[in-house]
Chains A and B, each alone.
Chain A
């Protein structure tokens, strides 16, 4: 059981596969492996031959990370884990076999096991969208690659942030968690695809805890980037504000529970987009569920004409960006909602074939211990023309909710929790409130968005959890939005 559950969006559905995975979580490894992978290419191609399966794929992965974690002034963890492993997936008559391993010897034996498993499962016809094979070598280059920096330099920055927190009076303690991961993945399939991708992801969470007797308040700041260390630099001012807010919360009142007109900042509106609509757009929930297919029929109206929602790994330089997904399908940019109407959804090759819709390149795996499943990448609401002042100007009593603790969805109903909230009174921001949990219903809440701002911002902190695969790097974003009749938990 995790100690503090925050900073993660989780999906409440799919209980059957939500169980915490028990295997090591360490990811990462040495660059010299590059050459070793080349040698594997012949073995991979050889291992595909002579099996009675419709489709086979292999992923081999090598990764190295840096983890630095402070609890208060105590450096709790500083380490550079490495990890190497792989997996094989095979398809026979609609059934899947999947084998994962750390021991990279005897690939052929592992392919045989996966095929044998698939044969045990498969009884119907397979649906698997066809796709041209790709051969490619992708190495992402960033402005400031964390793997080129000395451990001391990373630690120094975190020391500075920690000092900033401790410099704020009445702070009880701090929690700082930094992680970067350089990952190299080789993908090959029995159709002739061979793709090597090298990229990195980094994430930082800084939290401050303030205390007054038994009353404890925590405020966090989560940031991240697609392998660019500058994404976590120069946050001193924000860290200071975060710590100050933790102290201020001790004197803040609770919101009164009930329905409010709420305005969300771009960060929380991004989490809202992810929970309220993103997960429901993932076709693996829909493709074998006839009732849900009727509800999620393309052309159905979910919001006003001002509402446009996009997801796409092809949107560059964000934490959910990539060239190919974990089935070797090229990344795209997909409109989910255009002018308020459902126009698209996110697919793997299997769900695309079953629903007769185009592949979108959204099949993603957390690591080699997991098969790819349909996931979001970078999900956002497109900006319109309203300013923040216009948005709050005519609100007699409402709540301005910012920042996030997390979010969860069960498809129809969802929650998203704000790390920071203020009352809005007579068109102006008023007193600070304690953190609030907001809840919505897919069939009403999107319709209740009555204003979309002009200030798109992307949230790069946190990660997404689904089917036991967590945290997967994603980003989400939005301009400021206003929602009428939003249910808020409070006192």
Chain B
């Protein structure tokens, strides 16, 4: 890395070398049994230079061809965009726990046992369920070095448990599933198994809903499948700078329900997207996006922050590899709600509970729209879940829906990179075959 940096400094005024290496081991179960064991090892090196004020960039998957890396960066720098940032000097970084040595030593045999016990636990409840599961562990190392003396890096472990079950009765197909992740080993599969069993219970009966407008309870999974794509776009500093975010000129305004708060936080211990610094060596922080319904800050990397005349929020992300940095969410955390899921459902005379909205983000997400098929969801009648609904679409606009909130639930949980509560919203558009 040092050699690449010194070679690059001969051709450019400033330079930055980013190196990521990883190893991951997924244990894969198919059709109820162990089927595959993988080991993925790899690395990627990225060079970014500033030459005559313009950015040049190149990547490779090996370190031995330093000259080509520098040459390619110089070649594209003639077309490169004007650099609007300074690479960070040496910094003090927050202490963020993302490494667990126990995980690296965690035995494959134990991972196999975990997967087998997860499948058998769920199949005790529903013997006909055809199960797939994946237990995986991994470690990633990041190191960044730049020509202004900046030096940063971290080593992060990760562990994941995921499950999907498929139940077919005649021509009716039910998919249930859940997953959990951490930087520490997950040795208790009870939560994932319990959540899947609950889905199986609720989906036992079928119900129907007619087209119209109804209140909808989005479970944490439902919140993620419907709302996160439009919100992640709207708070992305690059989208804001481009003029394509509906929130761009609304900082300080109340746009969402007063009970709604949301922050992006890369410093939470043992979350798989946490880190002491971002992929440009900027210290990690928590950034308030929505405070009591009021639009707060947006997420920035160095270049976008430079263009917008603000500071980077430590959100520079290279997409898990060695790509060019861009602003991205790390972990999104919703503020706590105050009512129980049971009361939320109990308060509805007629409505839906949406667990999974399929294809919801494949529409005009920039405008805040979502529209998807209820892959897993239930009908509520007189305060009770009465059965699963199918062949139903739920549509809305996140800026209207999250300003028409009936209640925010207490039972928040992690769904991937999002810590989400159930949210009950009034007046969603329902389309149905029934």
Chain A residues proximal to chain B, CB less than 8 Å: 1, 3-6, 12-17, 19-26, 30, 71-72, 74-85, 94-103, 113, 117-118, 120-121, 123, 151-152, 155, 172-173, 209, 211, 214-218, 257-259, 288-289, 291-292, 295, 369, 371, 405-408, 410-417, 434-437, 439, 441, 443, 485, 487-491
Contact = CB atoms under 8 A, between A and B. Distances in A.
B42 A101 contact: yes
A85 B238 contact: no
B40 A439 contact: no
Interface centre among A4, A79, A209, by most B CB within 10 Å?
A79
**DSSP class of A's interface residues: helix, strand, loop or mixed?**
mixed
Contacts of A413: 173, 358, 373, 375, 390-391
B242 A435 contact: no
Contact of A414 (B38, B239, B373): B373
Contact of B321 (A23, A74, A434, A490): A23
B393 interface: yes
B366 A26 contact: no
Contact of B31 (A6, A289, A490): A289
Given A289-B31, A405-B363, A82 B431 contact: no
B99 interface: no
A368 to B, nearest CB: 9
Nearest to A405: B362
Nearest to A287: B31
Interface stretch (B226-234, B340-348, B378-386): B226-234
Contacts of A215: 246, 367
Contacts of B326: 3, 76
Contact of B211 (A4, A83, A257, A434): A257
B22 interface: yes
Interface stretch (B8-16, B72-80, B282-290, B404-412): B72-80
A78 B76 contact: yes
B395 A257 contact: yes
Interface in B101-128: 108, 112, 128
Nearest to B229: A5
A264 to B, nearest CB: 16
Given A151-B75, A289-B130, A218 B366 contact: yes
Interface residues of B, number: 107
Contact of B39 (A6, A100, A209, A259): A100
B62 A102 contact: yes
Given A151-B76, A173-B244, A412-B173, A1 B329 contact: yes
B365 A5 contact: yes
Contacts of A6: 361-362, 365
Given A81-B60, A84-B61, A172-B244, A16 B372 contact: no
A216 B59 CA distance: 35
Contacts of A71: 238, 242
A434 B31 contact: no
Closest 4 CB pairs of A and B: A24-B321, A415-B359, A406-B362, A24-B44
B149 interface: no
Contacts of B168: 289, 291-292, 295
Interface in B234-275: 236, 238-239, 242-246, 250
Given A24-B320, A75-B81, A152-B79, A216 B373 contact: no
Contact of B243 (A13, A30, A211, A259): A211
B75 A407 contact: no
Nearest to A406: B362
A74 B81 contact: yes
B162 interface: yes
Contacts of A78: 57, 76, 79-80
6 contacts: A12-B358, A25-B319, A215-B246, A257-B431, A406-B362, A408-B358
B433 A259 contact: yes
B70 interface: no
Interface stretch (B86-94, B133-141, B182-190): B133-141
B197 interface: no
Interface string B350-382: 000000001101111111110111010000000
Contact of A103 (B36, B38, B41, B239): B41
A471 to B, nearest CB: 13
A71 B327 CA distance: 13
Contacts of A209: 242-244, 366
Contacts of A417: 359, 362-363, 371
Nearest to A257: B431
Contacts of B211: 257-258
Contacts of A74: 81, 307
A24 B322 contact: yes
A152 to B, nearest CB: 7
B160 interface: yes
A102 B20 CA distance: 12
A405 B367 CA distance: 14
B95 interface: no
B68 A101 contact: no
Interface string B16-41: 00001010100011110111111111
Given A100-B41, A218-B364, A83 B60 contact: yes
B399 A214 contact: yes
A406 B39 CA distance: 32
A121 B363 contact: no
Contacts of A30: 68
A449 to B, nearest CB: 17
Given A22-B320, A71-B242, A75-B79, A415 B372 contact: yes
Contacts of A434: 364, 369
A210 B128 CA distance: 51
Given A434-B364, A490-B395, A26 B44 contact: yes
Given A23-B321, A80-B72, A417-B359, A3 B233 contact: yes
Contacts of A94: 35
Interface string B152-181: 000000101011101011011101010100
B258 to A, nearest CB: 19
Contact of B371 (A123, A441, A489): A489
A491 B429 contact: yes
